[in-house]
Amino acid sequence: MHKLRSKVAVIKTTPECVLEDIKKLCRLADMPAALAKNQPVILKDNISWHLPFLSANTTPWQLEGVIRALKASGWDRLVAVHNNTVVTDPDKGLRLNRLLGVYRQYGVEEKYNFNKDEIRWVPYHPKFKTRALHKVYGHDVMIPEYFFGKNIVHLPTVKTHIYTTTTGAMKNAFGGLLGTHRHYTHSWIHEVLVDLLKIQQDIHSGIFCVMDGTICGCGPGPRTMVPVEKGYMLASSDSVAIDAVAARMMGFDPLAIPYIRMAHEDGIGVGDVGDIEIAGEDIRNVNFHFYVGQNMVSRFGRTVWFGPLKSLQKFFFRTPLVYLFVYASFLYHDYVWWPLIGRRRQRKILRGSAWGRLFRNYPL
């Protein structure tokens, strides 16, 4: 059974006061009660793309505000764990998205979950009946040993996603808990997100989420989107509830999104907004009217992961042929969409928005 109610804190903020507002937001969402006092905190940023595209990635003010809030509440041992993906360069992403300077300013230790000298991967046998992970990995799934017993704070953004409609706190664990072959799970992506949250609830001493909705992403995310200035920040210790509230704000029915509905049904969080306490801002009439849409990658992906070519996905993605698709995605995003469309959209935000000016104030 899921809890009767969960709390999600929502505030409206501005660049001038966002750092103090994030501190208030974390208190409003009961962050001190959600995290174990005697354990380190893993900061799990969200770099969907190494290029500096506001709405796709954790923002520097989101990261700085959360670090300040944690330190003010007594957590001094903060560790950033970065993940590798087949199409994103984490080192480039940290620098271009102006996160690296924030980590260094506050003395946050950094680890890379794909570096065997820093993170050891160990077999984990789920204590629950998995919805989908067993179909991909068998009885055991390899996860980072470093995650066991530690708090984790997720730092996603409010945005849409070509395969999951929305993406947020639950999806943010996808890059951290699963290895470089995580793309094997895409056919069961909604079920896998539910399995991963259950694993998190088993291995972490506390879970908290702070979601940036200052510049949100609308369209075929998590990269090829239209950045939309909204000025919101959200926080919660319930990953399902914060994703549900963000989905509702974007204009979607949360319980019509499979990963939110299944997590709600399994009792690992609250996906029914009617059972969620919204602290802070009154968002009853908020509706961004966002949409997902499609791009070249999503059209091919849906055909292979969910459509008529599903039976051939092992041939496409579990043989050296996968590198052709990786390279094609890299070329499309970095050398076609970005120079033709993305850079112009980013420039518009940087020049025409106070949030863009704040972004430029953070050092590369």
pLDDT digits (tens, 9 = 90+) for 176-218: 888 756 666 777 899 999 999 999 999 999 999 999 999 999 9
Cβ neighbours of 78 (radius 10 Å): 20
Please indicate, yes or no, whether the overall pTM of this predicted structure exceeds 0.85: yes
pLDDT at 316 over 80: no
Greatest alpha-carbon span in the chain: 53
Q: Where are the domains of the chain?
A: 6-361
Residues 6+ apart with CB under 8 A from 357: 15, 350
- Mean pLDDT, the chain, rounded, equals 90
Helix or strand or coil: residue 126?
coil
Q: Dihedral sign, CA of 97, 101, 102, 104?
A: positive
Torsion of CA 189, 190, 195, 197, to 10 degrees: 110
pLDDT attached to residue 364:
87
Model confidence over 108-130: pLDDT tens digits?
Answer: 999 988 787 889 999 999 989 99
Query: Taking the CA atoms of the chain, what radius of gyration do you get in angstroms?
Result: 19
Torsion of CA 50, 52, 54, 60, to 10 degrees: 90
Quick check: bond before 222 cis, omega within 30? yes
Helix or strand or coil: residue 16?
coil
Cβ neighbours of 115 (radius 10 Å): 10
pLDDT attached to residue 186:
72
- Per the CB < 8 A criterion, the answer to whether 157 and 217 are in contact is yes
DSSP per-residue letters across 319-346? STTHHHHHHHHHHIIIIIIIIIIIHHHH
